[in-house]
Structure 1
Amino acid sequence: MTHVTWQEKGLSAMYAMQYELTLPADYDTGVIRRRVATRAKFTDDFPGLGLKAYLIRERGVAGSTVNQYAPFYLWRDVAGMGRFLVGGGGFQGIVDDFGRPPVRHWTGIAFERGAAATPLAASKEITRLPAGLDESIAEIGELARREDVHSAALAFDPTAWQLVRLVLWSEPGPGRCEVLHLSHPELDELPRGRHW
């Protein structure tokens, strides 16, 4: 019997990525808002990018104790992620303005689309990787059935054995980041459901 891999079937993988720039308490977050307003269009058609949520947290808003700029990416392929970070694909602008922040990345486990058309907020939860993932994957599917969810993703870091869950919401809420812009050039190509 011949085994056909998911790559041979033409399926994509998913990689999650995020860097967080924690800014001074008195930082003018209008600088970040203007930056996103003028530069976000660059990733609106970036090859290999499923979505990029331009996330911001402001001190004193929605329970945040910090000012932070923390874009979250879901890549459809690792080549796009590499091109963005080190191949002249856009990350150099962050390096030039803020230095080189650590970039976390996770291997995709599951992804689902929801009914909401435009996300205004995002939540991210990092937990220890459980012994079994069936319940966590089922929760992603349940979230996607809600009217206020745009999309939900689950990924893991095998170095620290951590699970990350990102949910994009149509409404702000306590503990949620604000979505300043959503680039989604290859959103429809992100594999849905369990990724194995």
Structure 2
Amino acid sequence: MHAMQYELTLPADYDTGIIRDRVARLGHLLDTWEGLGLKAYLLRERGRDGSPVNQYAPFYLWDTARGMNTFLWGGAFQRLSDDFGRPPVRQWTGVAYEEGGAARSPARVAVRCRRPVPDGAEWAAVMADAVRETGRLARQDGAVLAAAAVDTERWELVHFSLWEHETPAADGDVFRVLHVSAPGRARLPRGRQW
């Protein structure tokens, strides 16, 4: 599993309805994308849920590197870059994935928590903790799913979770879910990824 996210930070007075309309028009295009586990189309709005910015920040879980590469190099990402400028694309290697008790419910909010892997830490212990935290999040009331991944260039761990209600039992940046494309969600490997 590979996790990926890019962020388009928008002006404070930006009409976020433009993003909502774009997702309503185009979101379905990835509903059958080969190699995509899921894409959550995410939006933060300044002043809502503690967000200091307006930001469109889709989060992806890929079940194949080929699917991710086809998205990045095959034209889909080019169209977004042509419209908004080329954002940096963050990538993390999968550590854990779990379906939540509300797995069949539509996701309303997402939470992303990024934190550094501490210097001097025993990596196996940090990753084992990440696996346990993924399971803990997935067991919380209203959890649709939870995932953890690590960026070994920045030594950063990310926990990502989707929730059926607006009061998630997770800490981090809160996003509104505009749409979820999940053609390969059933193929995402459960549990620890090594």
Q: Could you state the TM-score of these two structures normalised by the residue count of structure 2?
A: 0.91
Q: What one-letter code is carried by the residue in structure 2 that aligns with 1:61?
A: R
The equivalent of 1:193 in structure 2 is 191
Q: In the alignment, does 2:5 pair up with 1:18?
A: yes
Give 1:193's aligned amino acid. G
One-letter amino acid of the counterpart of residue 51, structure 2: S
Q: Is the 8 A contact 1:15 1:106 kept in 2?
A: yes
Task: Give the SS at the match of 1:51.
Answer: strand
Question: Mind listing any 5+ residue stretches in structure 2 that lack a counterpart?
Answer: none
Determine the structure 2 residue equivalent to 1:91.
77
Q: What's the RMSD between the two structures over aligned residues?
A: 1.2
Could you say which residue in structure 2 is the equivalent of 1:170?
A: 164
Partner amino acid, structure 1, of 2:20: R
Task: Say which SS state the counterpart of residue 36 (structure 1) adopts.
Answer: helix
Off by >3 Å, runs of 4+ in structure 1: none
In the alignment, the residues of structure 1 paired with residue 139 and residue 167 of structure 2 have an alpha-carbon distance, to the nearest angstrom, of: 18
The answer as to whether partners of 2:34 and 2:67 remain within 8 angstroms in 1 is yes
Deviations 1:17-64 (A, max 9, x none): 000000000000000000000000000010000000000000111111
Report which of the two has the higher share of helix: 2
1:119 to 107, 123, 134: 107
Out of 122, 130, 139, the residue aligned to residue 136 of structure 1 is 130
What is the 5 A alignment of 1:1-196? 14-88=1-75, 90-116=76-102, 117-129=105-117, 131=122, 132=125, 133-173=127-167, 175-196=173-194
1:64 and 1:126 map into 2 onto residues whose CA distance is 15
Aligned residues: 182
Partner amino acid for 2:58? P
Quick check: 1:62–1:173 contact (8 Å CA) kept in 2? no
SS in 1 for 2:67: helix
% identical equivalent positions:
54
Deviation readout 1:114-169 (Å, 9 max, x if unpaired): 12211100111111125312222111112212231000000001101110100111
Q: Is residue 96–residue 130 contact of structure 2 (8 Å, CA) maintained in 1? A: no
Question: SS at 2:115's partner residue?
Answer: strand
Q: Tell me, which stretches of 5 or more residues in structure 1 are unaligned?
A: 1-13
Residue 179 of structure 2 aligns to a residue in which SS?
A: strand
CA distance in 2, matches of 1:100, 1:135: 34
Secondary structure at the aligned position of 1:136 is classed as helix
CA contact (8 A) 1:121 1:169 kept: yes
Q: Considering only CA atoms, is the larger Rg found in Structure 1 or Structure 2?
A: 1
1:4 corresponds in structure 2 to none
